Amino acid sequence: MKNTNKIVFIILAITLLFAARSQAAIKTKTIEYYDGKIMLEGYLAYDDSIKGKVPGVIIVHEWNGLGDYAQRRAREVAALGYVVLAADIYGKGIRANTPEESGKLASIYRADRKMARGRAMAALNELKTMKMVDQKKIAIMGYCFGGMVALELARSGADVVGTVAFHGSLDTPSPMDAINIKGKVLVLHGADDPNVPAEARMALEKEMKDAGVNWQMNIYGGAVHAFTNPAAGNDPAKGAAYNEQADKRSWEDLKMFLREIFK
């Protein structure tokens, strides 16, 4: 019995050691880059134990701006073996502190999709400059507001092999631009999201079909807006709430999609 306990202890110690080493291998840093004369401040995450070139992923933040949530997701995606840039759409030092401020900032880019695309393109160009990134294998993903931005970058014809929108805004003033999409599209959406009604989902479906895009939409029953973010709370009646099941399922769907497009 003592020997059995000793073996179990050794296995546990080895497991924890490897987990610690894996976590320690993820390096992060804040980087400055530009969209024209506008300085942006992104968050880079990568596994420094990986040798050679690896795929790159851009993550676009929610409507409050680049912060803890997008940075956490950047580290998690980097742990999958990718170089990740959490993009800054608003500009260095421009962040929202209240829902009202978030709404005002997001509305600027909702009204000016060209500028939204430009900010996302700046992140793409920055990621391409990194020696560890395989320029032919770059994807973009976004949460809420960031989902809209990710889809707009794809519609611009940018060289991304995949686009993922988590509980994102799906509408666009230029649905005909979907013909420019070069990669695959994955939309991960809450069935009960009040911000994106069924009509918007149907419009996106038509847009993708008409343009001949390779696309997929996964709809999670019982999930509302912001279902991947614990900070959204746990009251679906408010329209935005965390849903652990949908969060875990969508994360697995993301991993499968990334493996597919980067193979």
**CB within 8 Å of 190: residues ≥ 6 apart:** 167, 219, 220, 222, 223, 224, 225, 227, 243, 246
pLDDT digits (tens, 9 = 90+) for 149-158: 999 999 999 9
What is the reported pLDDT for 5? Answer: 53
Q: State yes or no: pLDDT of 10 exceeds 50.
A: no
- Measured CA to CA, the distance from residue 166 to residue 97 in angstroms comes to 22
pLDDT digits (tens, 9 = 90+) for 59-68: 999 999 999 9
- Above pLDDT 90, what percent of the chain? 89
What is the reported pLDDT for 92? Answer: 97
**What domains can you pick out in the chain, each with its CATH number?**
27-262 (3.40.50.1820)
| pLDDT confidence tier of residue 51, bands split at 50, 70 and 90 | confident
What is the reported pLDDT for 1? Answer: 52
What is the reported pLDDT for 50? Answer: 85
- Above pLDDT 70, what percent of the chain? 91
What is the reported pLDDT for 15? Answer: 47
Average pLDDT, stretch 183-204?
A: 96
Q: State yes or no: pLDDT of 6 exceeds 90.
A: no
Average pLDDT, stretch 204-221?
A: 98
Q: State yes or no: pLDDT of 101 exceeds 60.
A: yes
* b/e burial code for range 165-195 (CB count within 10 A of at least 16 → b): bbbbbbebeebebbeebebbbbbbbbebbeb
76, 228, 237, 248 from 220: Cα distances, Å: 22, 11, 16, 11
What is the reported pLDDT for 14? Answer: 44
In the predicted model, what is the mean pLDDT of the chain? 93
What is the reported pLDDT for 38? Answer: 97
Q: State yes or no: pLDDT of 18 exceeds 60.
A: no
More confident residue, 194 or 25: 194
161, 222, 257, 258, 260 from 263: Cα distances, Å: 11, 33, 10, 8, 6
Burial-class residue 6 by CB neighbours within 10 Å (0-12, 13-18, 19+): exposed
Three-state secondary structure call for residue 120: helix
Average pLDDT, stretch 100-120?
A: 98
What is the reported pLDDT for 61? Answer: 98
* pTM for the full predicted model: 0.90
Q: State yes or no: pLDDT of 44 exceeds 90.
A: yes
Q: State yes or no: pLDDT of 8 exceeds 50.
A: no
